[in-house]
Amino acid sequence: MPDLFLPPGVRYTCLCCGLCCRSLEVTLTEAERERLSATGGTPVPPRTGSTGGAPPGSGGTGILPVSERLFARLRGARGKQAWRLRPRPDGSCPFLTDDNLCRVHAKLGYAAKPFAGRVFPFQFVVTPVGVFVGCRFDCPAVVRGEGEELGKQRGDIRRLYDEYARTYDPPTEEEPVRFFGRYKLSWRDLLRIEDQLTAFLLMTDLDMPRRLLAGVRLVRQFVGLAVGKCEDAHVGADPNAILASVRGPASSGKAPVASNGHPACRPQPGRLRLLERLLLRLAIAAFVGATPHYYRELPFLRRLGTRLGNLWRRLKMALGVGRVRLPGIERPVRLRDVALVVAASVPLADRNRDGCGRAEALDDASAAMLQRYFVAKVASQQFFGRACFGRSFAQGFESLAMAYAAILWLASAHASDRGHRPEESAPPGRNASASETRTPSLAACDIEYGIRQVDHGYNYLGEMGGVFGRARAALLWHWGTAEKALIGLCGHL
């Protein structure tokens, strides 16, 4: 029986918010489809203006004779996940009730639910050294750290993994691991590097961009050593020199030197070039520009409109002009109101002049969310390999570090929307005029929104691992964009 490694600091208890049942695709095995069909588990369409429940005259049971229309073949299905549940027009699961509960669970018991509904928000990465448990941070309970510690749920998680292994026969990550390009490391050496990355991410005396910058420089230093070393040379790095380089003025750009005299790999501080800014903004747009999971159920003209709308939104976000609609935000966001949209490309000395000089520190809840997210991603091996579109360890961590800029951008967009709501921006006792509304400081709800949107796209949107996504990641790695962007963000919050 393989060892089970749980991410530190993560808590989870279902809040019955129904968010996962409205935003995720429910996949089924052939056996699950047959079981639901045999029990007559076809849901009743929701009432007008409702998300679930039985219509008048149905007796309130919510169970009708089965209809094959409920099930659809899963395109490109691998292994035993060959079917999916057709969602309602609003994207919600057909078995979701008005009170955000599962009708299958209520009528047939917990064990009758599809495995995809029972395993959420957990994910499993199978390696030669054990099974690493990851969590989806698009779940509000996970991102807020609400609920019971995962260590107290080890038995339940173990049973879920055993069922997962029996049902899907998951592939095992390779040994040795692709570290960068054709260079590979054993899992034992890789976990040592991760221990140092985690130590950086837990340094509460540094702000998060400096912690990530230290991690990026550590990984790039190992890459430089791997590329330049002899076959029998010892690969090592100097964490103290790296910390000294990030504790000082971040804009100095003085990168550490490795223990064998090799410089760290391509430190390139300073202003981002135009093409880098465009690609970085496109990377952010990819997190919010994907088609919804119920896209295939839409009529042809609506599918075409969705595609064209996504392309138009990405173009505007890349150029930083106009207004865009973002998931979970009621009104279109004016891009010029998003203060952090140019944060990574404006030098520190110019920020006050450009109106981007917000210097308030994040509150404790926001800082805890960010730390929990990045530590869990590293500890669960969810940023490289099969879990992340086959990326190498080095490129995967750099992409994870760049996700911080995406989180802040989306958090700023959410804060901008809050700043234009009179009830949240007006002084007590009177209404706000249009001239008084402004973008407030980032709050915990803004950071939560950013993390949920980024995590939903980081591992789970196929286009992130497509040809364009891979080419974009390769170019940003080659230019050292993540390091430059983090240098620009150091001290910004």
Residue 53: inside a domain, yes or no?
no
Q: What is the mean pLDDT of residues 441-450?
A: 88
The answer as to whether 325 is a domain residue is yes
Q: Are residues 89 and 16 in the same domain?
A: yes
Q: Is residue 414 part of a domain?
A: yes
Would residue 378 count as lying in a domain?
yes
Stretch 123-132: mean pLDDT = 93
State whether 460 and 320 are in the same domain: yes
On whether both 163 and 207 belong to a single domain, the answer is: no
Residue 270 pLDDT class (50, 70, 90 cuts) = low
Predicted confidence (pLDDT) per residue in 364-390, tens digit: 899 999 999 999 999 999 999 888 888
395 & 448 share domain: yes
* Residue 307 predicted with pLDDT over 80: yes
Q: Are residues 223 and 164 in the same domain?
A: no
pLDDT exceeds cutoff 70 at 79: no
According to the model, what pLDDT value does residue 76 have?
Answer: 58
More confident: 260 or 344? 260
Residues 215, 121: one domain?
A: no
Residues of the domain holding 421: 274-489
Q: Which residue has the higher pLDDT, 76 or 334?
A: 334
Per-residue pLDDT for 311 more than 50? yes
Q: What mean pLDDT do residues 87-99 have?
A: 87
pLDDT in tens, 406-440: 998 888 888 888 765 544 444 444 444 444 444 45
**Same-domain status, 331 and 455:** yes
Q: Is residue 151 part of a domain?
A: yes
pLDDT over 70 (residue 46): no
More confident residue, 35 or 261: 35
Of the residues 168, 187, 207, which one is the last residue of a structural domain? Answer: 168
Q: How far apart are CA 384 and CA 5, in angstroms?
A: 17
Pair (282, 401) in one structural domain:
yes
Does residue 56 sit within a domain?
no
pTM: 0.84
Count of structural domains, the chain = 3
Rounded CA-CA distance 65/90 in Å is 23
pLDDT score for 327:
83
Q: Give the residue with greater pLDDT, 368 vs 362.
A: 368
The three state secondary structure string of the chain is CCCEECCCCCEECCCCCCHHHHHCCCEEEHHHHHHHHHCCCEECCCCCCCCCCCCCCCCCCCEECCCHHHEEECCCCCCCEEEEECCCCCCCCCCECCCCCEHHHHHHCHHHCCHHHHHCCEEEEEECCEEEEEECCCCHHHHHCCCEEHHHHHHHHHHHHHHHHHHHCCCCCCCCEEEECCEEECHHHHHHHHHHHHHHHCCCCCCHHHHHHHHHHHHHHHHHHHHHCCCCCCCCCCHHHHHHHHHCCHHHCCCCECCCCCECCCCCCCCCCHHHHHHHHHHHHHHHCCCCCCHHHCCHHHHHHHHHHHHHHHHHHHHCCCEECCCCCCCCEEHHHCHHHHHHHCCHHHHHHHCCCCCCCCCHHHHHHHHHHHHHHHHCCCCCEHHHCCECHHHHHHHHHHHHHHHHHHHHHHHHHHHCCHHHHCCCCCCCCCCCCCCCCCCHHHHHHHHHHHHHHHCCCHHHHCHHHHHHHHHHHHHCHHHHHHHHHCCCC
Q: What angle do CA 81, 83, 89 make, to 5 degrees?
A: 130
Residue 36 predicted with pLDDT over 90: no
Return the pLDDT at 260: 42
Q: Pick the last residue of a domain from 150, 168, 186.
A: 168
Clarify whether residues 333 and 192 are in a common domain: no
Query: Averaged over 290-301, what is the pLDDT?
Result: 76
Question: For residue 260, is it within any domain?
Answer: no
Q: Which of 168, 186, 210 is the last residue of a domain?
A: 168
Are residue 309 and residue 453 in the same domain, yes or no?
Answer: yes
What six digits make up the tokens of 254?
A: 């003085």
pLDDT: is 273 or 264 the higher one?
273
What pLDDT is stored for residue 360 in this prediction? 52
* 333 and 424 share one domain: yes
Please check whether residue 57 lies inside any domain of the structure: no
- 217 and 239 co-located in one domain: yes
pLDDT above 70: residue 491: no
Q: Which of 347, 476, 471, 350 is nearest to 401 (CA)?
A: 476
**What average pLDDT is seen over the chain?**
78
- With bands split at pLDDT 50, 70 and 90, how would you rate the model's confidence at 451? very high
